[in-house]
Amino acid sequence: RWYEERRASSSSTNFLMNTFVSQTVYGPHREEAVAAVVERLRQFESVYSLYKDSSQVEAINRNAGVAPVEVDAEVFTLIARAKALSEESGGAFDITVAPLSLLWDITGKNPRVPAQGEIDQALALVDYRDILLDEERGTVMLRRPGQKLDLGAIAKGYACAVAGQVYRQQGVESAVLSIGGNVYTVGHQPGGKPFDIGVSAPVKDRTELLGTLHADGMVISTSGAYERYFEVDGRRYHHIFDPATGWPAQSDLLSVTVISQDGALADAMSTALFVEGLDGIKENLDREEFSLLAVDATGAVYLSDNIRDDFVLTDENYHLADA
């Protein structure tokens, strides 16, 4: 009985944070845990959404150039973190990218290639140094009117860690969660084996996997140009922008996967390194805080040494780059 109870699982898929959230939770507390995570992510969404009028991020955007906005401690911390990561990445990752992402609307209903003049105007508003943080008062303000925050490149990975807290509170020892492709595992499979996490091949609608990864207790975030894009005249425009140009990043990479216990870091770095390209990957393969799996335009797969034994390449269209 006890053994069966440990192996039993509950699964759910919900549309939250503008994306699909799926969970499989094992063990005695599974049903309460699934419901508690859905509830927590709903609350998260209402605070962080770029589109909900009631969200705190929306309030910061509405008050750009006007007034500081008092936010929850958690929101303050995430924005401060995102600003620091923007700085660290030299602006390749920049959460003030919203004027550009809204203008191009790649992931929205009316994607289009804007005129260069429009791009220049939007680009002039993108600058993480204009995020004014007052720690004592717990306020955030954007310096200039028209500036806007877009947490789209960090919120889903961060939300994985938020869900992780809920699982811990619920006593869950084994679970897999995906928030829009940001995958988080708690513990390992009930039988004791690690979870096999599928890493997608960087091709749209491809059901095959690039390979499988073992990364218990980690958040696994992937950024790439292959999934969210639109095409005009045979040219592809994807949703990750180069804040230096205002255009979709002309990366020499197909995808970047970052593996870390720190979900915000995994998500932000996957976006930053996609923009930075292969040179950035080579410089960051040996970092302590995260591991990397990146695919370049020739199909070579770059891996951090410390995950070499945890990854199995299964798609013969790709090959491992020399160590």
| Beta strand 319-320 pairing with 300-303 | parallel
Under rule CB under 6 A, residue 49 binds ligand ADP: no
Contact with ligand ADP (CB under 6 A) among 79, 160, 240, 294: 240
Determine the angle formed by the axes of helices 263-276 and 73-88, rounding to 10 degrees.
30
| Beta strand 131-134 pairing with 19-26 | unpaired
The answer for 187, left when phi > 0, alpha when psi is -120 to 50, beta otherwise, is left
Contact with ligand ADP (CB under 6 A) among 228, 235, 308, 319: 228
Under rule CB under 5 A, residue 267 binds Mg ion: yes
In the complex, the smallest distance separating the C-beta of residue 117 from ligand ADP, rounded to whole angstroms, is 20
Under rule CB under 6 A, residue 262 binds ligand ADP: no
Contact with Mg ion (CB under 5 A) among 89, 178, 185, 270: 270
Under rule CB under 6 A, residue 202 binds ligand ADP: no
Under rule CB under 5 A, residue 271 binds Mg ion: yes
In the complex, the smallest distance separating the C-beta of residue 261 from ligand ADP, rounded to whole angstroms, is 18
Q: How far apart are CA 117 and CA 135, in angstroms?
A: 37
Cα distances (Å, whole numbers) of residue 52 to 43, 204, 228, 307: 12, 29, 22, 39
* Tokens encoding 4: 């069966």
In the complex, the smallest distance separating the C-beta of residue 111 from ligand ADP, rounded to whole angstroms, is 11
Contact between 110 and 101 (Cβ < 8 Å): no
Q: How far apart are CA 125 and CA 211, in angstroms?
A: 40
In the complex, the smallest distance separating the C-beta of residue 95 from Mg ion, rounded to whole angstroms, is 11
Classify residue 259 by its DSSP letter: E
State which residue has the least CB distance to Mg ion. 271
* Tokens encoding 257: 């996967």
Q: How far apart are CA 302 and CA 101, in angstroms?
A: 29
- The contact mask relative to ligand ADP for 4-33 (x = CB under 6 A, - = no) is ------------------------------
Under rule CB under 5 A, residue 89 binds Mg ion: no
Contact with ligand ADP (CB under 6 A) among 37, 156, 200, 264: 156
Contact between 262 and 281 (Cβ < 8 Å): no
Nearer of residues 153 and 186 to Mg ion, judged by Cβ: 153
Under rule CB under 5 A, residue 153 binds Mg ion: yes
Number of neighbours of residue 100 by Cβ within 10 angstroms = 26
Under rule CB under 6 A, residue 56 binds ligand ADP: no
Element (DSSP H or E) covering residue 189: none
Classify residue 194 by its DSSP letter: P
Under rule CB under 6 A, residue 275 binds ligand ADP: yes
Under rule CB under 6 A, residue 78 binds ligand ADP: no
- The contact mask relative to ligand ADP for 79-98 (x = CB under 6 A, - = no) is --------------xxx-x-
In the complex, the smallest distance separating the C-beta of residue 40 from ligand ADP, rounded to whole angstroms, is 20
In the complex, the smallest distance separating the C-beta of residue 107 from ligand ADP, rounded to whole angstroms, is 5
Contact between 126 and 243 (Cβ < 8 Å): yes
Under rule CB under 5 A, residue 61 binds Mg ion: no
Q: How far apart are CA 53 and CA 56, in angstroms?
A: 8
Contact with ligand ADP (CB under 6 A) among 241, 302, 311, 318: 241
Burial class (CB in 10 A: 0-12, 13-18, 19+), 54: exposed
| Site of interaction with ligand ADP (CB under 6 A) | 93-95, 97, 101, 107, 150, 152-153, 156, 180-181, 223, 228, 239-241, 243, 267, 270-271, 275
| Site of interaction with Mg ion (CB under 5 A) | 153, 156, 267, 270-271
